[in-house]
């Protein structure tokens, strides 16, 4: 699952925007009217961003309004990530900051949600002395009761994990959205035990959400003007609900509307099946893009990581995928400097990257997480400078591969779903092509608007973007 940068959840601007963008429907109506106001920040992966939309729905139902100004808030919530040490230290800094605000406003309630809440539990209350509320990812329905407890002067914790909770019946309040593209969580938790990873501990056992509620959500989104849904799970290929497999689910969602794009994340190399890839090839609206985290190019390291595949197996999967879909867009995740990784094994990662030619990648150096298999079994023995140097080499190589991949697209024409104004200029639109590449082009055609499809001829490129002209 790709890591998003921290975003301040800003419902008020979205509310304003909604008023003049009819395609967004009435999702925000009434949201700004509650007496008590909440301010929420989200960190970590797309699933956390998707969870914040569930949290917003629970809060709105219990009469909360929202503010984008933390100084006006009665309740501050941080939806947190534990994946690497860095992720957590960022949160500790934020908590220190909110301590200063609390001094001026002693009534302010501060809550920690998400993976760090689950990992640290009560410790968060004890150690910080500034958190009032700790709520794990499966306990968001209990937020209103917990908030009441805090209001009555207690501190409240619920970090129970569930084997069933999928929040299937809750209508997410679409906060992190451009009105075109939305996330749909299809499963929660993870049953893999990758030795480096904290997620199985923070998110609990894997469970799939029923397909009817997923299709209903996709249909609602489509009717509200959305043109792209991303199906989310830590390992979507192991989705299973009664007789419906992930391939079956993909097909059901693809059938919602032929102009609703379907994406998904994350796939696991050991679990992705021919069925899934064949289904992708069969439906034009299932995007030709797969995020397939490899983590390492060395079979020995992969074994220690408990990933369940070897270098050769991974390369075979890529071959299978390209057999069905020659123009597939591919991205990956890579960890540099895992326990005992040698220089030669690091070079195997570089050579695998070169061989696959990923279009993009999320790259990290190994960060030991307490309680994980790797922390218990292996020594975190690659010195930090070496980890960082290896990571730098990986990033440099990927930058070149991304540049080359984009350069290859110059002269091609792509169908682009317009997402909105480009970041750099209000005179340009941006949107992505089927392969998930960002395309920027001038707004020459005045009738075009976000949510429309347009053919764009690519005239130049950078490492991150394709630049073109609508045709
Ligand atoms: N479910 C997804 C991954 C979720 S975490 C999958 O199986 O691919 C996203 C990425 O963070 C992982 O793919 C991995 O590359 C990275 N990551 C996870 N734990 C890490 C750790 N302890 N140190 C460094 N990177 C880590
Ligand atoms: Fe973590 Fe592995 Fe599960 Fe991904 S598949 S969330 S890396 S344990
Ligand atoms: Fe996601 Fe971070 Fe949790 S990556 S699942 S928010 S540990």
Cβ distance 75 to 56 under 8 Å? no
306 sits in the region (left: phi over 0; alpha: psi -120 to 50; else beta) called: left
pTM: 0.92
Does ligand 1 have an atom closer than 6 angstroms to the CB of 291?
no
Pocket flag, ligand 2, residue 268 (CB < 6 Å): yes
**What residue ranges do the domains of the chain occupy?**
11-158, 181-405, 413-470
- Residue written as token pair 């034009």: 284
* Cβ atoms within 10 Å of 24's Cβ, excluding its own: 21
CATH no., domain 413-470: 2.40.50.140
CA of residue 45 to ligand 3 center, whole Å: 5
pLDDT in tens, the chain (471 residues): 544 434 333 332 232 222 222 222 223 334 555 589 999 999 999 999 999 999 999 999 999 998 888 989 999 999 999 999 999 999 999 999 998 898 888 889 999 999 999 999 988 988 767 899 999 999 999 999 999 999 999 999 999 999 999 999 999 998 767 999 999 999 999 999 999 999 999 999 999 999 999 999 999 999 999 999 999 999 999 999 999 999 999 999 999 999 999 999 999 999 999 999 999 999 999 999 999 999 999 999 999 999 999 999 999 999 999 999 999 999 999 999 999 999 999 999 999 999 999 999 999 999 999 999 999 999 999 999 999 999 999 999 999 999 999 999 999 999 999 999 999 999 999 999 999 999 999 998 779 999 999 999 999 999 999 999 999
Q: How long a stretch of residues is the chain? A: 471
Ligand 1 centroid to 171 CA: how many Å? 28
User: In 67-81, which positions are buried (b, 16+ CB within 10 angstroms) versus exposed (e)?
Assistant: bbebeebbbbbbbbb
Residue 110: HSE in the Cβ half-sphere, 13 Å Cα cutoff: 23
CA–CA separation, 250 and 286 (whole Å): 8
Per the CB < 8 A criterion, the answer to whether 399 and 360 are in contact is: no
Beta carbon of 48 within 6 Å of any ligand 3 atom: yes
Ligand 3 contact via 198 beta carbon (within 6 Å)? yes
Distances (CA, A) of 248 to 184, 277, 409, 450: 16, 12, 32, 30
Comparing C-alpha atoms, which of 217, 273, 265, 207 is closest to residue 240?
207
CA 20/CA 63 separation, integer angstroms: 24
Nearest CA to ligand 2 atom 5: 192
Q: Whose CA is nearest to atom 8 of ligand 1?
A: 293
* Alpha-carbon gap, residue 12 to 14, rounded angstroms: 5
For 11-158, CATH gives: 3.40.50.12160
Q: Ligand 1: does its nearest atom lie under 6 Å from the Cβ of 1?
A: yes
Helix 343-356 to helix 311-324 angle (10° resolution) is 10
Atom of ligand 3 lying closest to residue 80 CA: 6
**Token pair listed for 239:** 């989705």
Residues 6+ positions from 115 with CB-CB distance below 8 Å? 44, 48, 80, 81, 82, 83, 137, 198, 199, 202, 203
Would you list the DSSP string of 130-184? ---EEE-TT-GGGHHHHHHHHHTT--EEE----SS---TTS-----S--SSEEEE
181-405 carries CATH number 3.40.228.10: no
Q: Indicate which ligand has the atom closest to the C-alpha of 338.
A: 1
Q: How far is CA 310 from the centre of its chain?
A: 26
CA-nearest residue, atom 2 of ligand 2: 194
The answer, yes or no, to whether any atom of ligand 3 lies below 6 A from the CB of 202, is yes
The whole-number pLDDT of residue 102 equals 87
- pLDDT of 35 reads 81
Residue 368 CB partners (closer than 8 Å, separation 6+):
85, 196, 374, 375, 380
Q: Is 234 in the pocket of ligand 2 (CB under 6 A)?
A: yes
Residue 208's DSSP bridge partners are: 187
How many of the other CB atoms lie within 10 Å of CB of 376? 9
- 112, 197, 222, 252, 412 from 166: Cα distances, Å: 20, 22, 21, 19, 42
Check whether the bond before 266 is cis (ω within 30° of 0): yes
Q: Are 115 and 203 in contact (CB under 8 A)?
A: yes
Q: Is 121 within 8 Å of 157 (Cβ atoms)?
A: yes
Closest CA to 294 of 273, 317, 274, 275: 317
The two structure tokens encoding residue 321: 């995928």
What is the best residue among 3, 119, 190 to mutate for testing ligand 2's pocket, by most ligand atoms within 8 Å of CB? 190
* CA–CA–CA angle 357, 191, 169 (5° rounding): 100
Whole-angstrom distance, CA of residue 172 vs CA of residue 183: 10
Best of 235, 266, 367 for a ligand 2 pocket test (most atoms within 8 Å of beta carbon): 235
């Amino acid at each position: 699952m790709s890591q998003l940068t921290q975003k301040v959840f800003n419902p008020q601007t979205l509310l304003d925007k909604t008023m003049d963008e009819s395609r967004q429907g009435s999702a925000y109506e009434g949201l700004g009217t509650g007496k008590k106001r909440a301010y929420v920040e989200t960190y970590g992966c797309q699933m956390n961003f998707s969870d914040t939309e569930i949290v917003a729905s629970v809060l709105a139902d219990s009469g909360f309004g929202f503010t984008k100004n933390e100084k006006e808030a009665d309740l501050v919530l941080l939806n947190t990530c534990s994946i690497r040490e860095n992720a957590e230290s960022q949160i500790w800094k934020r908590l220190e900051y909110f301590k200063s605000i609390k001094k001026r406003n002693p009534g302010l309630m501060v809550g920690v949600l998400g993976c760090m809440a689950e990992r640290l539990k009560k410790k968060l209350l004890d150690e910080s002395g500034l958190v009032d509320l700790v709520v794990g990812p499966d306990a968001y329905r209990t937020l209103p009761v917990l908030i009441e407890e805090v209001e009555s002067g207690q501190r409240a914790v619920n970090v129970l994990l569930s084997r069933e909770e999928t929040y299937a019946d809750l209508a997410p309040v679409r906060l992190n959205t451009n009105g075109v593209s939305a996330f749909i969580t299809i499963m929660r938790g993870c049953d893999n035990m990758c030795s480096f990873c904290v997620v199985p501990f923070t998110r609990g056992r894997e469970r799939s959400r029923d397909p009817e509620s997923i299709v209903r959500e996709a249909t609602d989104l489509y009717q509200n003007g959305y043109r792209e849904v991303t199906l989310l799970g830590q390992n979507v290929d192991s989705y299973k609900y009664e007789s419906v497999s992930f391939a079956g689910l993909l097909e059901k969602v693809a059938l919602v509307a032929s102009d609703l794009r379907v994406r998904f994340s994350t796939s696991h190399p050991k679990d992705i099946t021919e069925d899934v890839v064949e289904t992708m090839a069969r439906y034009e609206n299932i995007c030709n893009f797969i995020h397939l985290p490899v983590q390492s190019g060395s079979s020995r390291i992969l074994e220690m990581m408990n990933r369940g595949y070897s270098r050769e197996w991974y390369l075979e999967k890529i071959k299978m995928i390209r057999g069905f879909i020659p123009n597939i867009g591919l991205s990956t995740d890579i960890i540099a400097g895992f326990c005992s990784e040698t220089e030669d094994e690091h070079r195997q990662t570089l050579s695998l990257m070169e061989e696959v030619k990923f279009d993009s990648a999320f790259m990290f150096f190994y960060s030991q997480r307490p309680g994980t298999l790797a922390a218990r079994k292996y020594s975190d023995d690659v010195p930090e400078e070496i980890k960082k140097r290896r990571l730098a080499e990986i990033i440099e190589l990927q930058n070149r591969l991304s540049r080359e991949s984009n350069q290859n697209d110059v002269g091609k024409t792509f169908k682009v779903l317009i997402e909105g104004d480009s970041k750099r200029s209000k005179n340009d639109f941006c949107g992505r092509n089927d392969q998930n590449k960002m395309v920027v082009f001038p707004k020459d055609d005045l009738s075009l608007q976000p949510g429309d499809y347009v053919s764009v001829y690519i005239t130049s490129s950078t490492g991150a973007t394709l630049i073109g002209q609508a045709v």
